[in-house]
């Protein structure tokens, strides 16, 4: 009897792990997906690189919150956790980590840019250099 239960439980576990992985990976968007979403929807857009990196060029309308700041997560206190939040960094590592941190703080829709602003530039999308939205 126990042998008959093991196989269905194992299959259910594999399917569950696959579904969780699929859902998490779908929150990492390609440059074209990211572009479409931030230009069609009313979103919160955040560049999580350092202020120095931000000043070298960023996506238009992105505000800067430094991932390395001691108060990084607290900097999102005035953000709406129910509204889509789009984040990016230089190559994608920081934004993946930040997405996890923000999801743990009850942000429902957090998306990060696969390959970061590097992929954005390679795709030929515009960057701007004004620095009016740099975090302190």
Active site residue 26: no
User: 85, 87, 89, 119: which is the annotated catalytic residue?
Assistant: 89
Q: Where are the alpha helices (DSSP H) in the chain?
A: 2-25, 31-40, 51-55, 93-104, 116-122
Q: For residues 55 and 134, is the Cβ–Cβ distance under 8 A?
A: yes
Question: What three-state secondary structure class fits 70?
Answer: coil
Active-site positions read 89
């Amino acid at each position: 009897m126990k042998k008959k239960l093991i196989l269905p439980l194992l299959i259910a576990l594999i399917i569950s792990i696959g579904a969780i992985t699929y859902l998490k990976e779908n929150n990492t968007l390609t440059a074209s997906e990211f572009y479409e979403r931030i230009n069609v929807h009313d979103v919160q857009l955040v560049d999580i690189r350092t202020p120095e990196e931000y000043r070298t060029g960023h996506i238009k309308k992105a505000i800067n919150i430094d991932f390395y700041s001691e108060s990084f997560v607290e900097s999102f206190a005035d953000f709406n956790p129910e509204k889509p939040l789009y984040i990016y960094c230089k190559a994608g590592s920081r934004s993946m980590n930040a997405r996890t941190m923000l999801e743990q703080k009850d942000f429902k829709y957090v998306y990060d840019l696969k390959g970061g602003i590097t992929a954005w530039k390679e795709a030929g999308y515009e960057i701007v250099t004004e620095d009016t939205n740099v975090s302190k």
